[in-house]
Every structure is written in C-alpha cells, then in structure tokens.
Amino acid sequence: MKSPSPTTLPHAFRDAIEKRFPGARFDEPLSKHTTFKIGGPADVYVEPRTTAELTDAVRLADDHGVAITIIGGGSNLLILDSGVRGMILRLKGEFEEIAARPGSLLDSGAGVKLPKLIAWAGERGLGGSESLVGVPGTLGGSLIMNAGTREGEIGDLVREVRVLDRGALRVDVLSPRDLRFSYRASNLDGRLVVGALIELKAGKRDDIINRIREFQQSRLATQPVHTHNVGSTFKNPPGKFVGRLIEQAGLKGLRIGGARVSPVHANFVENLGRAKASDVLGIVESVRGKIRSEFGVELELEMRILGEP
C-alpha cells in the first residue's frame, strides 16, 4: 500500500522519485536516522548508492524546487519534532567504500563511518587518525564540521575533497588550497561532499591498533557512550572547557521532559527514551542562561539543528 501523499511535495516530483528510487520512503521518521533517536519526519528519504543516483536525486529536486539535505551518521544532529521539508539523502553503496592509494593515502566515500575508516587504516599499518576513533559520524559529516578531538582534527589529514557541483551536476575535486578548516567549521558547509583523499602515516599495525583501543577506552571512561546522545552540545569557549563550566554551575543531571544533562560528561545531553527535540532545546536554553549569568560566557552550539522551527 502506498503511503498518503505528503502535501508539500509536488506530485510530479513524487512520481519521478518513486520511479527512479523504488526504495524511497515518504514521511520517514528521522528519529530512526539520528543517534539521539529524536526527529520528526522527512517528506522523502532516499539512499543514493552511486554517483549517478545521487546526481539524479539532486537534478529531480532542483527541477521541482524541492530542498535537499544530506545527513551523515546523524551523530551530531538535533532534528526538530516537526521534521524536515523536502528530501533527505543518506549516502550508501559506493559512498561507503574505502581504497588504499600509494603513499599512505586512503580514498574514502563520504558515507564511510569514521571509526570504520580508522580501524581499516590501522589493520593496514596506516596511522595518524587514531584519536578520531571516538567520532561516530561519517567522513562527509566530519569534514563539513571539521570533527576532532584535542589531539587533532580531520581537516589536518585531508589532501583532496570531492563535491558534487549542483549546477553542473559533476564531481569537482577540491585541493587543500581550496579548503578552509577551523575549530568545528569548514568552507564545505552547504556543499554535497561525496568523498575524500586522506593522508595517513605508515606505522606498525599493532602500535596503531593499541592506540585506537586506548582512545576508545578513554572515551568510555569520560563520555556517556552507551546512551542516546549527539556528542558535544556546545563548542568549548576560547580557553575554557564547557563541560567543566556546566558542572561548576551545578547543572549535571538537569532534566527537562525526557532529556537530561549527562551525569557523566556535562557537555552531553542524553535522551532518556522519549525525549522531544523541544526538551533538548529547553536544556540548551537553561544551560546557556545559567552559564551567561554565572560566568558571563556566551555558549555556541556544536551540535547542528535541522528542521522547521
């Protein structure tokens, strides 16, 4: 049985998508696609598996004036309760492939999860990215955010990024001189990242695997890894640790609806089971207000918000 036609999608677009992507899902709950397990529906959700499929999805959306958003692992995203209008894309298939290239280079699709990429590299004696093993997102999302830890950021390792040019519908290759990375930001925001060339360092397999394990263990000890969360809520303000400030303000364990400030790491918000996006936003506003009044510090969000307010 067909699901009812969403009102916001043009009928001709809906028909064309159903024909080209038989697996497309209409009114797809995005809570299924975020680590927070929060988020209202997407008008339509498509998983392109090849560059040709991605190009067709983008062309159809642009021809019909439908908005497109690519989501990665959904591990840094708060999707609002009213969901996202237009088409959500998640890159699968060839975008989840990794290949070794001469000179300690890895060619990876944007849909590869970072922990997989790092383990894959480690098995082949390629290191230098171990500290990023705790970042659960995809390579594409990590590049856009310049995901990182105190030991390093993904932007430091990038030798080339491939993006789909939406106007020309062709893949362009960006070199380091085209790219700007800063603390949790890049000039790839808003671009359709499809893959990248990552430069690692040759080393001893066992040493690299051990370092990966150490980073995993330290994360297990300091972060609420086994809860539904999206990692850091706020960026660290210059020269300060936001987790420490929130703890000092006495906000660990603060609960609004089904969401709470993690008792393990104060810069994490946990979904206790039935949290709404509005519960998380309530926590964000309470924490911001208290940190402003106690310390005179204005907090900036690290997690991304997607959807119609």
Distance CA 125, CA 119 (A): 10
Is residue 115 within 8 A of residue 138, CB to CB? The reply is no
Distance CA 180, CA 187 (A): 5
Q: Which is nearer to ligand EPU, 165 or 294 (CB)?
A: 294
Q: Which is nearer to ligand EPU, 17 or 212 (CB)?
A: 212
Distance CA 135, CA 304 (A): 15
Residue (of 141, 139, 119, 138) closest to 130 by Cα position: 119
Residues that bind ligand EPU (CB under 6 A): 134, 149-150, 222, 231-232, 235-236, 241, 243-244, 247, 265-267, 302
CB of 236 to ligand EPU, least distance (A): 5
Burial annotation 293-308 (CB, 10 A radius, 16+ → b, else e): eeeeeebeebbeebbe
CB of 211 to ligand EPU, least distance (A): 13
The total number of residues written for the chain in this structure: 309
Q: Which is nearer to ligand EPU, 35 or 55 (CB)?
A: 35
302 tagged catalytic: yes
CB of 291 to ligand EPU, least distance (A): 13
Pairing of strands 41-46, 84-89: parallel
Q: Is residue 131 packed enough to be buried (19+ CB in 10 Å), middle (13-18) or exposed (0-12)?
A: buried
CB of 244 to ligand EPU, least distance (A): 4
Q: Which is nearer to ligand EPU, 266 or 277 (CB)?
A: 266
Half-sphere exposure of 145 (CA within 13 A, CB side): 29
Q: Which is nearer to ligand EPU, 14 or 265 (CB)?
A: 265
H or E stretch including 144?
helix 139-145
Half-sphere exposure of 155 (CA within 13 A, CB side): 19
Taken in order 137, 184, 37, 18, the sign of the CA dihedral is negative
The amino acid present at 252, given as its one-letter code, is: K
In the complex, which residue's CB is closest to ligand EPU? 231
Cα 132 to the chain's mean position, in Å? 13
Q: How many CB atoms lie within 10 A of CB 270?
A: 24
Active-site option among 232, 260, 262, 270: 232
Catalytic center residues: 184, 232, 302
